[in-house]
């Protein structure tokens, strides 16, 4: 049962991602990506990471993708101009990547044709997760919190109002 679910969710993720990267409209792309991220979160849940799954929805789909939408909408709202971005697809990298994908997949299969290394049913409770996080990875937590701080500072700096300069540039 879990196996079937796994393959189903994988298929959803892949299809959604494929659709995402081929959309002209960025909003459509973001929406499809949210779809893919939902499926991915369920996959995480299946693989015994309930906390991570929750965070995937909350942070990734809920915050980061929303942020993307915000920015798209902000820029969209620039007066009288559609997003004049070209979305040309190029064939050569695509072909290359496809080939690489085949090669990698082949490699992976060749390592273990029979599928002997299997992921067993696993479940990590939040308590165990918290224990691991704050005991062994305490320093990393601190560092990431620093990083969030200066990211916020940087984003504020980059985004502050520079009306005067913008008007100068327009002239």
> Hey, which residues between 128 and 147 contact another protein (CB under 8 A)?
128-129, 131-133, 136-137, 140-141, 144-145, 147
CB neighbour list of residue 15: distance below 8 Å, 6 or more residues apart: none
167 touching another protein, by CB under 8 A: no
CB of 127 to another protein, least distance (A): 11
31 touching another protein, by CB under 8 A: no
* Rounded distance between C-alpha atoms, residue 11 and residue 16, angstroms: 8
The encoded tokens of residue 103 equal: 């090669």
122 touching another protein, by CB under 8 A: yes
* Rounded distance between C-alpha atoms, residue 56 and residue 50, angstroms: 10
Q: How many CB atoms lie within 10 A of CB 119?
A: 10
**Burial classification of residue 54, based on how many CB atoms lie within 10 Å of its CB (0-12 exposed, 13-18 middle, 19 or more buried):** middle
CB of 58 to another protein, least distance (A): 9
CB of 21 to another protein, least distance (A): 4
CB of 171 to another protein, least distance (A): 14
3-state class (DSSP) for residue 25? coil
42 touching another protein, by CB under 8 A: no
Binds another protein by CB under 8 A, chosen from 93, 164, 167, 168: 93
> Hey, which residues between 53 and 72 contact another protein (CB under 8 A)?
55-56, 59-60, 63-64, 67-68, 71-72
CB neighbour list of residue 50: distance below 8 Å, 6 or more residues apart: 44, 123, 124, 125, 126
Binds another protein by CB under 8 A, chosen from 77, 121, 167, 168: 121
86 touching another protein, by CB under 8 A: yes
152 touching another protein, by CB under 8 A: yes
The encoded tokens of residue 160 equal: 């502050």
CB 47 within 8 A of CB 39: no
């Amino acid at each position: 049962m879990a196996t079937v679910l796994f393959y189903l969710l994988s298929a959803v993720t892949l299809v959604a991602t494929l659709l995402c990267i081929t959309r002209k409209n960025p909003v459509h792309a973001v929406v499809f990506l949210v779809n893919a991220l939902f499926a991915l979160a369920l996959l995480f849940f299946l693989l015994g990471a309930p906390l991570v799954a929750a965070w995937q929805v909350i942070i990734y789909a809920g915050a980061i993708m929303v942020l993307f939408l915000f920015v798209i909408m902000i820029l969209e709202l620039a007066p009288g101009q559609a997003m004049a971005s070209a979305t040309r697809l190029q064939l050569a990298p695509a072909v290359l990547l496809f080939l690489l994908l085949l090669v990698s997949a082949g490699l992976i299969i060749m390592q273990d044709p029979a599928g002997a290394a299997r992921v067993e049913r696993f479940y990590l409770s939040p308590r165990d997760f918290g224990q691991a996080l704050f005991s062994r990875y305490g320093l990393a937590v601190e560092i990431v919190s620093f990083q969030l701080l200066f990211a916020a500072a940087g984003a504020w700096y980059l985004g502050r109002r520079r009306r005067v300069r913008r008007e100068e540039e327009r002239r």
